Amino acid sequence: MFKAIYLTRDADRFDARVASLEESTLPEGDVTLRVEYSTLNYKDGLAIANQAPVVRKWPMVAGIDGAGVVESSSHPAWKAGDHVIVDGWGLGETHWGCLAQKARVKGDWLVRLPATLTSRQAMAIGTAGYTAMLCALALEKQGVEPAQGDILVTGATGGVGSIAISILSAWGYRVVASTGKSAERAYLESLGAADVIDRNELSQPGKPMQKERWAGVVDSVGSHTLANACAQAKYRGVVTACGLAQGMDFAASVAPFILRGVRLIGVDSVMAPLADREQAWARLATDLDRKKLEAITTQASLAEALALAPGILAGTRRGRVVVDVNG
């Protein structure tokens, strides 16, 4: 038996609870994991609160990422005792996830845990931090340099935003954090933000072309915020988009793209190729300040994670929630 956050739906009845499940109920896969830690992401919050069609197969074990130890494997790349990370690939959506003490997955989905990270640290980073690194690497690959100007990070107190600020400031960029939480200025400055602006500057409909402000952007918000970020990007600025906390709509103009050469880069963490994942985790292991990571991290049990999900969606929490699935 193992414990898991178990989501069920029958007609109009939805239930999310910590349940004890038989190991024989685990889905197909060539690697069985003993999960040590998982985490609570925005998508997990949506699934647990049944607020969006995240789950596409029922019943479902929640949790879009996890870290732990290989218990058994028929995959040639993995053997019992290997320490691994798994995120994306439909976990918690179409395939049982890792807010559980056990998981069975495809070996092709796994990334080896960097030797300098613990399983807990990997899940303090989690999908949010891994996505933040993918965005930061996209800016780097597109040639955005610190001397070119400010980098805007939206949704700054969330998991993606918090880790993006830490990474980019450590790389020498001047980071401007956008948030609706004015009381969190000191927190954001402690992560490396050079300035903090109110999200209302970006969250309302704006002109298609605005004053040039940003050499680069990491946006996890979408909607009007993303449209305004593009409208304010400098000539040949780079905007990375990875989230939709404000909405999926994008009421923008082609003007910034054809008059300023602005580049909008979509960042997908779910189906990213293995090489991109390995590069992101390798850079996280070397470039992310562990003290800052610990400062943005809180820990919860499976039962506590259920209770925390609404706060993730409401934006009342900051940073990262690590879930000790055995606690």
pLDDT digits (tens, 9 = 90+) for 246-276: 999 999 999 999 999 999 999 999 999 999 9
Q: How high is the pLDDT of residue 313?
A: 85
> For residue 161, with 0-12 CB atoms within 10 Å meaning exposed, 13-18 middle and 19 or more buried, which class applies?
buried
Confidence of residue 146 (pLDDT cuts 50, 70, 90): very high
Q: How high is the pLDDT of residue 312?
A: 87
Q: How high is the pLDDT of residue 314?
A: 83
Q: Which residue has the tokens 């193992």?
A: 2
Q: How high is the pLDDT of residue 7?
A: 97
pTM: 0.94
pLDDT at 121 over 80: yes
CATH number of 2-113+296-324: 3.90.180.10
pLDDT at 116 over 90: yes
Contact 93, 56 (CB under 8 A): yes
Sign of the dihedral through C-alpha 312, 316, 320, 321: negative
Q: What is the residue-averaged pLDDT of the chain?
A: 96
Fold match between domain 2-113+296-324 and domain 127-266: no
Domains of the chain by residue range? 2-113+296-324, 127-266
**pLDDT tens-digit series, residues 26-68:** 999 999 999 999 999 999 999 999 987 899 999 999 999 999 9
Residues 231 and 56: their CA atoms lie apart, in Å, by: 35
Q: How high is the pLDDT of residue 315?
A: 79
pLDDT at 102 over 90: yes
The helix or strand, by DSSP H or E, that contains position 31, with its residue range, turns out to be: strand 31-39
Confidence of residue 192 (pLDDT cuts 50, 70, 90): very high
Q: How high is the pLDDT of residue 73?
A: 98
pLDDT at 108 over 80: yes
The amino acid at 187? Y
Q: How high is the pLDDT of residue 317?
A: 82
154/245: higher pLDDT: 154
Q: How high is the pLDDT of residue 12?
A: 81
Which among 257, 269, 272, 258 is positioned nearest to 226, based on CA atoms? Answer: 257
pLDDT at 226 over 80: yes
Q: How high is the pLDDT of residue 88?
A: 94
Angle at the Cα of 160 from the Cα atoms of 220 and 295, rounded to 5 degrees: 150
Q: Which of 3.40.50.720, 3.40.50.1820, 1.10.760.10, 3.40.50.150 would CATH assign to domain 127-266?
A: 3.40.50.720
pLDDT at 145 over 90: yes
Residues 129 and 189: their CA atoms lie apart, in Å, by: 18
